[in-house]
Structure 1
Amino acid sequence: MSRQMCNRPGCGRGAIDEQGFCEVCDRQPLPVAHVTVSAARAPEPEPEPEPEPEQQRPARGGAGVGVAHVRPDPWYGLGLVDSDQAPEAPDVPLGSSDPVAEAHRFCAAPSCGQPVGRGHDGEPGRTAGYCPHCGTHFDFAQPDGLTIAGRYDVARVLGSGAYGAAYLAHDRNLATHVVLKALNKSVAKTARHERDVLVGLRHDSIVRILGYEHEGPHLVLEYVPGEPLSARDGDRLETLLAHGVRVLQALDYLHARGLLHCDVKPLNIIRFREEGPAGALDRVRLIDFGAVRSHTKDTGPVVAYTRAYAPPETDPEHLRPTPGFDLYGLGMTLREICRSRWTDRSAPGVDSLHLLLDRATDPERPWWRFVSARQFAEQLSGVIRQVVAAPPTRRQVARPSALFGSVPEPLHGGLGAARPLAHWVEAQPDEEALLRMPAPFSSPQPGDVAAALPAPLSDPDDPGVTGSAGGALAESRLALRRKDAASAAGQLAAAGLPDWHWLPDWYCGLIALADGSPKRAAAVLTQVRRALPGELIPHLALGLCAELRGDRAVALSHYGTVFDTTPALGAAGFGLARVLLLAGERARAVDVAEQLAKEFRYEREARVAAVRLRVMVLSEPGHPAPTEDDVARARAALPGLDVDEAAAAALRAEIQYAEFLRTHDRLKLSDAVRALGPHAPTEREYVALVDLANRLRPALRWRRPSRRRESVAERVIPVSEQRPAR
């Protein structure tokens, strides 16, 4: 009989296993009707999660924004990290001569499982004897003398937890080492209930559960020869974060099957060396499924967990745990292992990492934490992208945002075009021919910024937020493009967005910009950045707000983060060049423009900006004039620009004015300004340009001869030379 095949777009080739999941993409097939409607779209979003209890998350209002969008690859951060520091594989531990710890001593009888060999009143427990409950013999003198189920020879104790001991044992049947997880009586029922599902788990980042032994009972797991996840000497920050993404992949796989791990912590994540065709790889696996529970069937509170890596005991997650319980544990795990790598918040990506983990482990606002492994992984991958943009990796990645549309406007503020003709028409020369002119460029107007920043797309992790208010938000966007802040605010209020989501903050920030208040906009857009630390669009928006407020240091920080991560967001590059030039760093500003020119979308404007930045004259004190080399380079680049003759004439005039400041050649400057005349749209402007050119010409100086030539009538002839009269 043929097997059912996956019908999801983007996959369509995997067979559906006995649990109803695709063997390739690990997702359930779509209903037939749904496939018909969505066959032309990219990979579909995960099925909507069950509604959370009312006390866990504030009630959601309906809101729809932009076009439907899904998150097809939230794990892309893994492709940015080189796995070149694989740890050495440790040797298989030898047998131990130590007795089994008291905490690991339980009766071996399947019907009993009670603690045995325990100490009382400060006295140690007996290592050998008989169970006081059922009379079964026990001997814990040496673990390597213990054989379980007639086939597992225990070599040593690996550790213990709330559910029993973990042993390294040699499986006689398979001739390999395995891990036996001894379960105490209180969880034996849960283990039996879940064993069939656990045995079926297949994921590269999840330890494989090989079987279940009634004796004990014990779970039989694959032995991974590694060590608990920690930061080793030489580990780069992105390497540790990539392990976090791998664990999130495992959790996403687990949660899609309705299971929760409930004990995510460094000790339960084994870091090991994996040999592959390309060499040794640094990998991790999630282990210790003793606390695993069904998300849908187990409705009681969590009874056993590691307090340091679990939400506060008053948190709603303890009453009815969701995937958020595991995500909180991973957030605390990343805090622990990255502690020594994130002390300098000015380093690329480090501040974003702080914000990411602040959200993941917020102790007071459970509704604000991440709701899915994919949502967490998208932001974590974005943080990795910021980290690897710095030396020594210097890897820049252009990637469409999962939550925001594109930014089509370069917002160059005049840098990417020739100086307007009106500037020359209005120019006023002084006695030394120095021109008083409008500023050569400016920051984009707040209203233009509000209209240019992108609309958010639908949020695949909060479908309730992106459901029914799309019309009102579309009207709000239209009002922003008209720079009608009042109308945009009214439409936003009509949309009924929940105040706990980042979406209303984004729109409130745009409305504040349209209303001409970048300071108020920055305050609310900062909340968006806190919620989405892996996204670059909030960085760009905050950079623009800082520039509009005149805070160049903050603007430089935000623009630099975006541009260093991906120059494809051209508005950040132009903003960075503006701020650098105003700070007196002409060479760095030119370098930014030349790097931006490599992006096809902004090539024309960026090449013009590079020429202008070399020769631009600023009236602010403390800004040095362009050098001879700047002028020569600008003049050499001019013929290669894709501009019309009017723009070329304006650029030549700007270059000539920069040269005039050094040579004081008024005649050449006058000729350059006169060449603008034919491009004037009106006779008045033409006359003004000719008049300016005439005023710039050097003054004429008439040279008088040393002595005046006498006329014939005035010449006096000496008597001696006079002819005698006849």
Structure 2
Amino acid sequence: MSRQMCERPDCGRGPIDEQGFCDVCDRPPLPAPPRPVPRDGAAVRDGAAEPERTVRAGARVGVAHVRPDPWYGLGLVDADQAPDVPVISSDPVAEAHRFCPDPSCRQPVGRGHGGGPGRTAGFCPHCGTRFDFDRPDGLTIAGRYDVARVVGSGAYGAAYLAHDRNLATQVVLKALHRSVAKTARHERDVLVGLRHDSIVRILGYEPEGPHLVLEYVPGEPLSARDGDRLETLLAHGVRVLQALDYLHARGLLHCDVKPLNIIRFREEGPAGALDRVRLIDFGAVRSHTKDTGPVVAYTRAYAPPETDPEHLRPTPGFDLFGLGMTLREVCRSRWTDPATPGVDSLRLLLDRATDPERPWWRFVSARQFAEQLSGVIRQVVAAAPTCRQVTRPSALFGSMPEPLHGGLGAARPLAHWVAARADESGLLDILAPFSSPEPGDVAAALPAPLSDPDDPGVTGPAGGALAESRLALRRRDAVSAAERLTAAALPDWHWLSDWYRGLVALADGRPERAAEVLNQVRRALPGELIPPLALGLCAELCGDGEVARAHYRMVFDTTPALGAGGFGLARVLLLAGERAKAVEVAEQLAEEFRYEREARVAAVRLRVVVLPGRARPAPTGEDVDRARAALPGLDVDEAAAASLRAEIQYAEFLRTRDRLKLSDAVRALGPHAATEREYVALVDLANRLRPPLGRGRQGRRGRTGRSRFGAASGRLSS
């Protein structure tokens, strides 16, 4: 497949790498002509929808053409957990909504006096009309709707379940008294124009009362039921976000999002019963652009603080805050164990959505919220019992092809054997078999952010400076990277600023400082996997294996396609003495085509690698046998194979003390030496490893050989 080439006149047509930068000038390619974008978020080419990843192929730092599907979390949740239809009890109408049923009277009735409750049944003292707010049976409204029961009372009136004689179906009549007739008409006008699966539908309007005639949704307010899994509840949050995105795109705000206004119901479909939700009660709806006054009707427990700017000039953030508080309440019983996959991310998500002190830090669009919520769902379903791993491109970060295996995915370098020393018993003093990636390498390998689609003004003008900062990071030049980041003038509170500050700190060799600022990125983007991967690398560099393990495990369990997470997890597991688990991680990582070669090498080495210190268990005989059996199937050259054979033989030597076989394995490295000095060092090491005369196999006497450099190799036995 041909690679995209840089078209800049001062470059010379360098190839574009996987992160969208030219290999020659390290700048993004010139932007392609804009493409028309349909409503579903895909680019159009030759009249057909094209996946979003093609649109972003040449995206420069700080610019994204299209946000990918933020609702993908719905596809990760099983749809066969439909609840039973609940039995709706008939509650008396609240006193504040008790009015004479005679349309010509409409005076308050059934009110309490002297602290006592009012009568729920009786006769209007003004006109004598009978009322019964306990059992409205027999009440017919507008000569068409036979009232069956009271189903609740809202901010502006009661709601009745009624039978529509004309349509022969059940409907809900939302009764509103005359003092809010204007509100009723406004709600009617808004609902008439809405068509969305997660929004209640209006069927009619009756001036008598007045009443809104709404579809009957036979459900109950959103809540956690016995047997509900966390991802099921979060999927309902995504559905409500779809409804809010639909509303906000039409310039409307609901202004009263709460569990009571989200009805969970059972919907029969061709595939069976489905668990669904609908947003109801649009009595507080307002126009985002036309209504300029403060919010009047809202529920305090689910609204931003009254001193928040959202109350004076509400934005979509007002509704998103309400949904955040709703999910916090609904999911409260499902996040008792912070070690459960996805629970920590969910806490961070809701902390951002409902932050009372920093309104500028909260989510600004339903799609931005849904994107992170879908990411949390992806983390949740990766655990048992679902165990569903999903690989998909990030909406905010480029790809990360570098595995950062720290040497684990390759054979020991020949230099390790050249520098090795053997004591009298044959034990080797040799360099560490692998290491954590260097901080500068980590900073260069972590992907470049693509953009923040919800705030393009933050990154658009800064794109050039950020690209230059990335170039400096690739050169391991922390000073220049910091200077260019300052020139970008990003807001201090924005996650992009923290991301680049973290990379600069890594390039400067300060992983502790990098972890501090990258943790803010993790808090801002809890559905993304790149920030916890970066934190895992920082923790490993700081020597905190437990924290590194937690981050690596979350990333690897969610998607092994981020190879750096798997290799990092294997390293910390082995250092913790859990060799079998480390091998299991490498073998699972080998199923990813991109990392198959390195992971298979790592699996062999993990079985036999010898770590310093006696506290860690040495390789077993089974480990050695399985490593040796896997060796012929590796895609490595003969020099690497010889090094792997020597490492396997050393692991066997620790059990059998067979110095002769170990000496022969080291001697076999000689033909692959690059210089005569290296060759002589390997021969000397092999000599020191030979068993002394009089022990073991004495029949094999000294012998001489000739190296490929023309000099005598000397005696290999003592």
Partners of 1:348 and 1:561 within 8 A in 2? yes
2:371 alignment partner, one of 364, 367, 378: 378
Kindly indicate whether the alpha-carbon contact (under 8 Å) linking 2:505 and 2:513 is maintained by their aligned counterparts in 1. yes
Partner AA of 1:393 in structure 2: T
User: 1-side partners of 2:320 and 2:371: how far apart?
Assistant: 13
Bigger drift between 672-681 and 181-190 goes to 181-190
- On the 8 A contact 2:192/2:202 being kept in 1, the answer is yes
In structure 2, relative to structure 1, the CA distance for the partners of 1:206 and 1:439 (3 Å cut) is same
**Residue 131 of structure 2: aligned partner:** 139
Following superposition, the deviation at residue 196 of structure 1 comes to: 3.1
Matches within 5 A, 1:641-656: 641-656=634-649
Which of residues 529, 536, 540 in structure 1 aligns to 2:533?
540
Which of the numbers 622, 628, 636 marks the counterpart of 1:635? 628
Question: What's 1:576 paired with?
Answer: 569
Q: Aligned in 2, Cα 1:129/1:422: closer, same or farther, shift over 3 Å?
A: same
Distance 2:155 2:185 in 1: 17
Cα offset, 1:8, TM superposition: 8.9
Secondary structure at the aligned position of 2:137 is classed as helix
Deviation at 1:281, TM superposition (A): 1.1
Following the alignment from structure 2 to structure 1, what is the Cα–Cα distance between the partners of residues 567 and 390?
18
Matched, 1:198 2:194: no
Map of 2:585 onto structure 1: 592
> Is residue 248 of structure 1 aligned with residue 241 of structure 2?
yes
Aligned residue pairs: how many? Answer: 658
Any conservation in 1 of the 2:183–2:283 contact (CA below 8 Å)?
Answer: no
Find the aligned partners of 2:128 and 2:498 in 1 and give their Cα distance.
66
With normalisation by structure 2, the TM-score equals 0.87
Identify the residue that residue 561 of structure 1 maps to in structure 2. 554
CA change 1:319–1:676 in 2 (3 A) is same
State how 1:125-524 maps to structure 2 within 5 Å. Answer: 125=118, 127=121, 139-140=131-132, 142-524=135-517
Read off the aligned partner of 1:81 and give its amino acid letter: V
CA–CA distance in structure 2, aligned partners of residues 253 and 228 of structure 1: 21
CA 662–100 in structure 1, closer or farther in 2 if over 3 Å, else same: closer
List per-residue Cα deviations over 1:118-146 (Å, max 9, x = no partner): 334335556555586xx795734542232
Distance in 2 (CA, whole Å) between partners of 1:454 and 1:340 is: 36
Quick one: distance in 2 between partners of 1:109 and 1:474? 72
* Alpha-carbon distance in structure 2 between the residues aligned to 1:111 and 1:302: 32
The CA deviation at 1:317 is 1.1
Post-superposition offset of 1:79: 0.9
Residues in 1 aligned to 2:323 and 2:67: alpha-carbon distance in whole angstroms: 21
- Report the AA paired with residue 80 of structure 1: L
Residue matched to 2:655? 662
Alignment of structure 1 residues 105-116 onto 2, 5 Å: 105-106=98-99, 115-116=108-109
Amino acid in the other structure paired with 2:668? A
> By how many angstroms is 1:386 displaced?
0.8
**What CA distance in whole angstroms lies between the structure 2 residues aligned with 1:642 and 1:464?**
48
Aligned partners of 1:425 and 1:689 also within 8 Å: yes
Instruction: Give the direction of change, closer, same or farther, for the CA distance of 1:667–1:107 in structure 2 (3 Å limit).
Output: same
Matched letter for residue 332 of structure 1: M
SS across alignment from 1:180: strand
Q: Is the 8 A contact 1:108 1:136 kept in 2?
A: no
Q: Is the 8 A contact 1:69 1:457 kept in 2?
A: no
Deviations 1:409-450 (A, max 9, x none): 100000000000000000111001111011000000000000
**Separation in structure 2 between the aligned mates of residue 449 and residue 309 of structure 1, nearest angstrom:** 42
- Aligned residue for 2:496, secondary structure, equals helix
| Counterparts in 2 of 1:395 and 1:39: CA distance versus 1, 3 Å | closer
Matches of 2:486 and 2:104 in 1, distance apart?
63
- Residue number among 685, 691, 696 corresponding to 1:698 in the alignment: 691
| Displacement of 1:191 | 3.1
Q: State the Cα distance separating 1:609 from its structure 2 match.
A: 0.3
Q: Shift in Å at residue 548 of structure 1?
A: 0.2
Aligned residue number for residue 115 of structure 2: 122
CA distance in 1, matches of 2:565, 2:531: 11
- What CA distance in whole angstroms lies between the structure 2 residues aligned with 1:136 and 1:371? 54
Change (3 A) 1:652 1:559: same
Q: Distance in 1 between matches of 2:490 and 2:583?
A: 43
Higher mean C-alpha deviation, range 288-297 or range 466-475 = 288-297
Moved more, 291-300 or 437-446: 291-300
Cα–Cα, structure 1 residues 8 and 190, in superposed 2: closer, same or farther, change >3 Å? Answer: farther
CA contact (8 A) 1:78 1:242 kept: yes
Given that 1:70 and 1:459 are in contact with CA atoms closer than 8 Å, whether structure 2 keeps it comes out as no
Q: In structure 2, which of residues 73, 95, 113 is the aligned counterpart of residue 77 of structure 1?
A: 73
Residue 630 to residue 180, structure 1, CA distance change in 2 (3 Å): same
Give SS of 2:458's match: coil
Give the Cα–Cα distance (whole angstroms) in 1 for the partners of residues 553 and 50 of structure 2. Answer: 38
Percent identity for Structure 1 against Structure 2: 83
CA distance 1:99–1:448, change in 2 (3 Å):
closer
Could you list the per-position Cα deviations for residues 330-350 of structure 1 after superposition, in whole angstroms to 9, with x for gaps in the alignment?
111111111111011111111
Output the amino acid matched with 1:82: D
Partner SS state of residue 460, structure 1: coil
With over 3 angstroms needed to count, the CA separation of the structure-2 counterparts of 1:583 and 1:324, relative to structure 1, is same
Q: Which residue of the partner structure matches residue 668 of structure 2?
A: 675
**Cα RMSD over matched residues?**
2.7
SS class of match (1:284): strand
**Structure with bigger RCO (C-alpha 8 Å, 6+ apart):** 1
Q: How does 1:88-99 map to 2 (within 5 A)?
A: 88-90=84-86
Q: How far apart are the structure 2 equivalents of 1:238 and 1:177?
A: 32
- Please tell me whether residue 68 in structure 1 is matched to residue 64 in structure 2: yes
Q: Does structure 1 retain, via aligned residues, the 8 Å contact 2:490–2:497?
A: yes
SS of 1:154's partner is strand
Partners of 1:675 and 1:483 in 2: CA distance: 38
The letter of the residue matching 2:258 is K
Gaps of 5+ in 1: 1-6, 12-21, 46-62, 704-726
Question: Is the Cα contact below 8 Å between 2:659 and 2:689 reproduced in 1?
Answer: yes
CA distance in 2, matches of 1:125, 1:551: 66
* Preserved contact between residue 63 and residue 456 of structure 2 (Cα < 8 Å): no
Classify 1:366/1:44 alpha carbon distance in 2 versus 1 (closer, same or farther; 3 Å): farther
1:8 and 1:418, CA in 2 relative to 1: closer, same or farther beyond 3 A? closer
d(CA) in 2 for partners of 1:163, 1:460 = 38
Which letter maps to 2:257? V
Structure 1: how far apart are the matches of 2:111 and 2:163?
A: 27
- Do the aligned residues in 2 keep the contact of 1:574 with 1:593 (CA within 8 Å)? yes
Distance in 1 (CA, whole Å) between partners of 2:636 and 2:326 is: 55
1:383 counterpart letter in structure 2 = V
**1:154 and 1:242 mapped to 2: Cα distance?**
34
Partner amino acid, structure 2, of 1:139: F
In structure 2, distance between residues paired with 1:9 and 1:155: 52
Deviations, residues 67-125 of structure 1 (Å, cap 9, x unaligned) = 5243221111111111232111245x58x6x7644222236687986645433433555
Distance 1:498 1:352, change over 3 A: same
Partners in 2 of 1:535 and 1:599 — Cα distance?
Answer: 20
Q: Which amino acid aligns with 1:524?
A: V
- Residue aligned with 1:144, SS: coil
Q: In structure 1, what is the Cα distance between the partners aligned to 2:252 and 2:377?
A: 28
For residue 14 of structure 1, what is the aligned residue in structure 2?
Answer: none
Alignment-mate amino acid for residue 568 of structure 1:
A
Residue aligning to 2:712: none
Runs of 4+ more than 4 Å apart: 7-11, 34-41, 107-117, 123-132, 135-138
Q: Counterpart amino acid of 2:411?
A: A
Give distance in 1, aligned partners of 2:175 and 2:184: 11
More off after superposition, 582-591 vs 204-213:
204-213
Larger Rg: 1
Contact kept, 8 Å, 2:157 with 2:177, in 1: the verdict is yes
